[in-house]
Amino acid sequence: MKLSLIQMNMTLGLPEENFLRAEKLIAEAMNDQPDVIVLPETWNVGFFPKERLSELADDDGKAVKARLGSLAKQYGVNLIAGSVANRRGERIYNTAFVFDRQGACIAEYDKAHLFSPMGEDRYFEKGDHTTVFTLDGKRCGMLICYDIRFPEWTRTMTAAKPLDCLFVVSQWPRVRMAHLQTLGAARAIENQMFLACCNSCGTAGDTVYGGGSYVCDPWGTVLDQAGETEQILTAELDFSTVESIRTSINVFADRRPELYQY
């Protein structure tokens, strides 16, 4: 499976400009003929315009589904449309959308862990469920940014049946980039799966976002990593690696869930 991660520099509070930019970058990513294209967190408005957030947010994903769903169908590509500020009724969610090669929206995920140091929990509603989906026969899951700091949330997705690949979309600041790679490698190693992290870049307010999007294998080895500026990172996943490691070190068979109490 070939992945293209779009490390996008969006403009804070200008959704139409960001939609046009995302559409252009998706077209560029298709030059590598990927199987899956991934966008970062809240690419429609940036992270995050507190003023006019409800007005700027997508209306129950209608714009994403209409515009990016049609691109997925046009190009015949699986598209993880990052996440967007998404309005449902009176509430705003940080929602990721996943489209298959036919342009159908096959999964939605609302960010469960909201980043309180920046007040995200005061403007967005918390999601309350994990999301698992299938792309080209591979079992996949989704995290949004701060979610990666909560290993029990990832294990909730993998305990019943392991994942082949976990996608992480983020707006992670440059000052803590070492955490993003370390946490991703840990989630990949302990769950014996590939992990693809698509981060943003650029500046919003006083925050500089770090780029550094990456793909790591089930051993925690980084296969490829982006720099700090806007770019498209493309990498290939060989899923025989997953089968090999689970045969040699079968952590799922050796788990003791009856002992894991809080």
Task: List, by residue number, the catalytic residues.
Answer: 41, 111, 145
Name 190's Cβ contacts closer than 8 Å, sequence gap at least 6: 151, 155, 251
Quick one: CA torsion of 253, 134, 165, 29, rounded to 10 degrees?
Answer: 170
Question: From CA 249, how far away is CA 124, in angstroms rounded?
Answer: 40
Question: From CA 252, how far away is CA 159, in angstroms rounded?
Answer: 7
CA torsion sign for 12, 16, 17, 20 is positive
Among 19, 97, 90, 14, which Cα is nearest to 54's? 90
Question: From CA 94, how far away is CA 124, in angstroms rounded?
Answer: 7
